[in-house]
Amino acid sequence: MLEMNELGKRIKKLRIEKGMTILELADNKMSKGMLSMIENGRANPSMESLKFIARQLGCDPQYLLGNPTPDELKSLLKKLEEAFDKNNDEQIINLTQNIFEQQFPISLESARILDISGRVIIKTDQNRGKKLIDWAITIYERLSLYSHCLAAKVYEVEYLAKNGKYHAALIMLRSVKKEYEEKAIVIDLFVDIEANFVEMVLLFGIGEYKSGKDKLNQLIEISKRKMVFYKMDNIFRIAAFQALLHNNEKDFSYFIKKSEQFAIFSDNNRSLAFTLLLQSHYYNQIPKDYEQALFYLNKYAILMNGNLGNDFYYLERGKALLGKKQVDEALKEFEKFEMPNTNSYPLELCILYTADAYRAYCLLQLGKVEEALIFAKRAADNIDSLPETPYHNYIKNTLELVNKNLPK
């Protein structure tokens, strides 16, 4: 609630805008002296007086208190949800820039507004974002909306994992799942899938491949049994990647086909694009068929209509050109590569961190050993905390090769 001085200023400002005198505002219900004291911050109106003043000024009492009205909340939430669906973070930040200064009633609209703004702000300011999400969770709990609580907590878990704290994130996730599953009669199926999906990613992230694969199979089974296809594009892609990681070409072919079919069925070009990138990665890594890798990268470029991004495409294209012994051309592609600022899965990070190692190898081939060492060391430092994969071996071998070629 506003302090007396701020409340009085707001009443006085609105009265003047309406062209009313204090006497006109007071009418015969309040004394001019009391109203003057309220406007000057020397007295606080009772709730009955506040309602009377609001009626006279033609506004909602919540407006005078500095709280958003129910209609304002609904309007703001609609705008936020539309922006959130379009991944328009800038618009969400602009719409909620004064959110910490506002008082929110205990309502679903309030909680959703805080939740959405928190999910966006946490990307650039983890503490402020977490405060907003926790504020939303407090309201959800007051309303006994435990599925909403779990969904918000899962989002916090993902950002804990983004900082490389996979073990801590897994412990937190299991704790909140247990807490809200005990409180709720039933957890929303979509929230349950989301929580189990994040748990699967974290298990792979700490190298618990068997447990991760069990969770993966569980997710596929739930989706089939319930006929719910939420997250299936991601699930199939991770299944395909796991098969590739363990040289199981039969499973890779099966899951990549499923991923492709789902992307086409859902008319999701973004999912289909990821599938094409994964296939180019497969041909670069396993059969070393660089022409076929370039074939899928060209399909990706056509599908994306030139919006190539700056990460996986350039990494895989550089690898294919390097495989064809076109070192200068490969180096140009690696120089275009940039690490994404989005939340990447641990095993995706393993692939992405090899970009510096491949760049180092190109520089080494061109006789730029000192420069090669910078990138080889950076790759080794970045991948050190991630679970052991074949990508570690490539980075380690590249660093050793560069060190061997350093001038004595």
pTM over 0.75: no
Angstrom distance (rounded) from CA 330 to CA 321? 5
pLDDT digits (tens, 9 = 90+) for 300-320: 999 998 888 889 999 999 999
Angstrom distance (rounded) from CA 123 to CA 88? 13
Angstrom distance (rounded) from CA 361 to CA 226? 49
pLDDT, residue 360, reads 97
> Within 10 Å of residue 168's Cβ, how many Cβ atoms?
14
Q: Residue type at 240?
A: A
Q: Using CB atoms within 10 A of its CB, is residue 21 exposed (0-12), middle (13-18) or buried (19+)?
A: exposed
Q: Whose CA is closest to 349, among 373, 315, 303, 376?
A: 315
Angstrom distance (rounded) from CA 279 to CA 293? 7
pLDDT digits (tens, 9 = 90+) for 176-233: 999 998 998 889 999 999 999 999 989 988 888 899 989 999 998 998 888 888 888 8
The structure tokens listed for 356 are 């510096």
**How much is the average pLDDT of 263-291?**
90
In the predicted model, is pLDDT for residue 357 greater than 50? yes
Angstrom distance (rounded) from CA 269 to CA 276? 10
Angstrom distance (rounded) from CA 374 to CA 365? 15
Q: By the 8 A CB rule, do 104 and 68 touch?
A: yes
pLDDT, residue 2, reads 43
Angle among Cα 362, 364, 370 to the nearest 5 degrees reads 125
In this prediction, residue 105 has a pLDDT band, given cuts at 50, 70 and 90, of confident
In this prediction, residue 343 has a pLDDT band, given cuts at 50, 70 and 90, of low
Question: How large a percentage of the chain has pLDDT more than 70?
Answer: 96
Angstrom distance (rounded) from CA 265 to CA 158? 28
pLDDT digits (tens, 9 = 90+) for 122-156: 888 888 999 999 999 999 999 999 999 999 999 99
Query: What phi and psi values does residue 6 have, to the nearest 5 degrees?
Result: -70, -40
Query: What phi and psi values does residue 48 have, to the nearest 5 degrees?
Result: -65, -45
